[in-house]
């Protein structure tokens, strides 16, 4: 808080206090919440402008913008919480356009009665995740709804980044013959969240893979600017990503089951829970399509990065007017990988 501003009668009670409707009313209570919690944690010069809009200089070029709402339940889970997830998820969406993320905005929808201690923990987690990734949270908004009209906290983050010259990434750019690469094991996020939600305990700890992927993407693009498609495999999992790309690009895709990395603990939990790791959400894994000659070079770069240690070439694109996604199973058969029809795991992000 700037020295020149009037102080508030009492500091915000971040231990025992709760969110009140007044915290969203545009008056003194809201200003106090902004100053004593958000500005302290998110401290950066753009936010300190205290405009409704943050303004910043840009160089001529291409920018990318993406928005994502987070409604995950429970709010805290092994490997992260809704705050770090909201930062990582939007950084990743911007990165999947080939862009370098620079700025985030955050819109909070709080439920009356939500503990301020939980809010403070989530805000600290957002701030830490943003700082670790080198992005600034430059604008925000807080609304409060009555008890029973929300569920603790929902966060909508929007990310803005710059796209380097010469990069052309798009879900419609895959071509027959392209290699399909996956950056690591599937299912970690969804299985960790579901286990926490259901109170399940496994012998091996299950942790969300929630992580920012923008430095991995930057290294991939530097090594292989001919990358055609990048997607993070979030809601709907790897299966949804493959079906989207097949549909947009007008190609078939064949993947090899034996090549798809899945951790032993996740595999065991999925068998117990009746889940298929192909459909389970990830928050730190990406799928890349590139011309076949670049695949080995790209794989080497991915494996050398902390977020790509388990990367693998898992399949290729085919010339298929039906745009089917198929999997060669470990037993030698072939099965269609269809979209998930309904909701497999609600509120997983």
- Residue 183, phi then psi, degrees to nearest 5: -80, -10
Candidates 41, 88, 231, 285: give the one binding a copy of itself (CB under 8 A).
Answer: 231
Binding test (CB under 8 A) with a copy of itself, winner from 195, 234, 254, 307:
234
Residue 51 C-beta: closest distance to a copy of itself, Å: 5
Binders of a copy of itself among residues 141 to 180 (CB under 8 A) are: 141-146, 148-151, 154, 156, 158-161, 163, 169-172
C-alpha triplet 84, 124, 211: angle, nearest 5°? 20
Residues 44-63 that bind a copy of itself (CB under 8 A): 49-63
Residue 188 contacts a copy of itself per CB under 8 A:
no
Token pair of 82 as six digits: 């809704």
**Do the beta carbons of residue 104 and residue 92 sit within 8 Å?**
no
Q: In whole angstroms, how close is the CB of 189 to a copy of itself at the nearest point?
A: 13
State in angstroms the smallest separation of the CB of 248 from a copy of itself: 6
Minimum CB separation of residue 115 from a copy of itself in Å reads 17
- Helix axis angle, 264-273 relative to 188-198, nearest 10°? 50
Residue 77 CA to residue 199 CA, distance in Å, equals 11
Question: Residue 271: what are its φ and ψ, rounded to 5°?
Answer: -65, -45
Total of chain residues touching a copy of itself, rule CB under 8 A: 96
* DSSP label at residue 338: P
Residue number, 176 or 268, with CB nearest to a copy of itself = 176
On the 0-12 / 13-18 / 19+ scale of CB atoms within 10 A, 8 is middle
Burial 176-195 (b: 16+ CB within 10 A, else e): eebbbbbbbbbbbbbbbbbb
Q: How far is the CB of 250 from a copy of itself (least distance, A)?
A: 6
> What whole-number distance in Å separates Cα of residue 329 and Cα of residue 341?
22
Nearer to a copy of itself among residue 270 and residue 348 (C-beta): 348
Three-state DSSP at 259 gives helix
Query: Which parts of 250-289 interact with a copy of itself (CB under 8 A)?
Result: 250, 281
Chain residues 288-347 in contact with a copy of itself, contact rule CB under 8 A: 323, 339-347
CB 175 within 8 A of CB 229: no
Tell me which residue of 288, 81, 79, 306 sits closest to 215, measured CA to CA: 306
* 77-85, 229-237, 254-262, 268-276 -> range binding a copy of itself (CB under 8 A): 229-237
Do residues 261 and 182 lie in contact, with contact meaning Cβ atoms separated by under 8 Å?
yes
- Smallest distance, a copy of itself to C-beta of residue 120, A: 19
If the CB atoms of residues 151 and 303 are measured against a copy of itself, the closer one turns out to be: 151
Site residues (CB under 8 A) for a copy of itself, limited to 1-30? 4-6, 20-22, 24-30
Could you tell me the smallest distance in angstroms from the CB atom of residue 20 to a copy of itself?
7
Question: Judged by CB under 8 A, which of 83, 236, 252, 315 binds a copy of itself?
Answer: 236
Task: For 318-339, give one letter per residue: b (16+ CB within 10 A) or e.
Answer: bebeebbbbbbeeeeeeeebee
Selected range binding a copy of itself among 89-97, 192-200, 204-212, 301-309, rule: CB under 8 A = 89-97
Q: Could you tell me if 154 and 109 are in contact, meaning their C-beta atoms sit under 8 angstroms apart?
A: yes
Q: Site for a copy of itself (CB under 8 A): which residue of 18, 207, 247, 267?
A: 247
Q: Which residue has the tokens 């198929």?
A: 326
Q: How far is the CB of 160 from a copy of itself (least distance, A)?
A: 6
Task: Looking at residues 105 to 144 of the shown chain, list those that interact with a copy of itself (rule: CB under 8 A).
Answer: 105-109, 138-144
What's the closest the beta carbon of residue 69 comes to a copy of itself, in angstroms? 4
């Amino acid at each position: 808080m700037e020295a020149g501003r009037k102080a508030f009668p009492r500091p915000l009670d971040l231990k025992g206090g709760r969110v009140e409707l007044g915290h969203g009313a545009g008056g003194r209570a809201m200003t106090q919440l902004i100053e004593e919690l958000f500005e302290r944690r998110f401290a950066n010069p753009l936010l300190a402008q205290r405009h409704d809009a943050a303004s910043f200089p840009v160089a001529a070029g291409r920018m990318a913008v993406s928005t994502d709402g987070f409604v995950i339940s429970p709010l805290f889970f092994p490997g992260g919480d809704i705050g770090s997830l909201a930062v990582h998820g939007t950084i990743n969406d911007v990165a999947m356009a080939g862009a370098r993320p620079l700025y985030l905005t955050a819109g909070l929808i709080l439920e009356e009665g939500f503990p301020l201690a939980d809010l403070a923990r989530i805000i600290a987690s957002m701030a830490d995740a943003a700082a670790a990734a080198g992005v600034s949270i430059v604008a925000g908004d807080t609304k409060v709804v009555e008890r029973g009209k929300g569920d603790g906290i929902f966060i909508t983050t929007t990310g803005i980044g710059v796209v380097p010259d010469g990069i052309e990434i798009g879900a419609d750019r895959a071509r027959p013959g392209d290699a399909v690469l996956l950056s690591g094991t599937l299912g970690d996020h969804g299985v960790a969240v579901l286990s926490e939600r259901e109170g399940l305990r496994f012998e091996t700890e299950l942790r969300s893979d929630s992580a920012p992927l923008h430095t991995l993407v930057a290294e991939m693009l530097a090594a292989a600017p001919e990358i055609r498609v990048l997607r993070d495999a979030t809601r709907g999992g790897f299966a949804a990503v493959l079906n989207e790309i097949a549909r947009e690009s007008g190609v078939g895709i064949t993947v090899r089951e034996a090549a798809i990395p899945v951790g032993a603990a996740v595999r065991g939990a999925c068998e117990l829970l009746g889940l298929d790791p192909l459909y389970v959400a990830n928050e730190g894994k990406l799928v890349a399509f590139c011309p076949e000659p670049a695949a080995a070079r790209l794989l080497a770069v991915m494996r050398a990065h902390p977020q790509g240690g388990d990367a693998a070439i898992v399949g290729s694109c085919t010339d298929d007017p039906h745009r089917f996604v198929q999997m060669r199973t470990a037993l030698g058969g072939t099965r269609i990988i269809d979209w998930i029809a309904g909701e497999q795991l609600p509120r997983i992000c």
